[in-house]
Amino acid sequence: MEKRIIIAGSGGQGILFLGKVIAHAAMKQNKEVTWFPSYGAEIRGGTANCMVVVSDELIGSPIVKIADYLIVLNQASYNKFMSRVTPNGYLIYDASLIKNSHGRTDINIYPVEASKEASLIANPKLANMILLGSFIKLSKLIEIDKAIETIEEIIPAKRKEMIEINKKLILRGFSLFEN
């Protein structure tokens, strides 16, 4: 098993953090993992993406040319990375921010009102955690308890108040696809 993931959006949307949580949670499940971040010099508002590869065997390269899963948080990233989803792959995107769809019929598309859902619990800027929960449910690649353990471990001490909020957001994103 080897699954390739691209996560993309703007700086400040928690793109790299989302990828890091997936990578750490997969490591907790004894998987081989690579996490490859990429971001513009401007950080907030600039481009940001990361590539995560999760495998049962050694990974040859951290570069993801064709993704099994694409998680996007803005229109520009949606437009840029849509063509890099493998047929029968998965696109999970923030439908609160992305309105234009390209109508690919060969992939599984899951629009999630992530910013809207995050604003109901905390802050729309935490849409990444809603999408994490949805990704966990749809992909079954990582276990939700491992993602929550990871959140507890990697959030810095000065931001510990965010742990419970992030847990709620992940669980909400997970619950959006109960069927």
Which tens digit of pLDDT belongs to each residue from 145-161?
999 999 999 998 888 88
The yes-or-no verdict on residue 12 having pLDDT over 60 is: yes
Q: What is the pTM of this model?
A: 0.93
The percentage of residues in the chain with a pLDDT greater than 70, rounded to a whole number, is: 94
Domains of the chain plus CATH, in order, are 2-175 (3.40.920.10)
Buried b (16+ CB within 10 A) or exposed e, 84-105: ebeeebbbbbbbbbbeeeeeee
Which tens digit of pLDDT belongs to each residue from 78-137?
999 999 999 999 999 999 999 876 678 899 999 999 999 999 999 999 999 999 999 999
Pairing of the two strands 108-112 and 2-10? unpaired
DSSP alpha helices (H): ranges in 122-178? 127-139, 144-154, 162-175
Which tens digit of pLDDT belongs to each residue from 56-84?
999 989 899 999 999 999 998 999 999 99
- What's the confidence (pLDDT) of residue 103? 74
Split at pLDDT 50, 70, 90, the class of 5 is very high
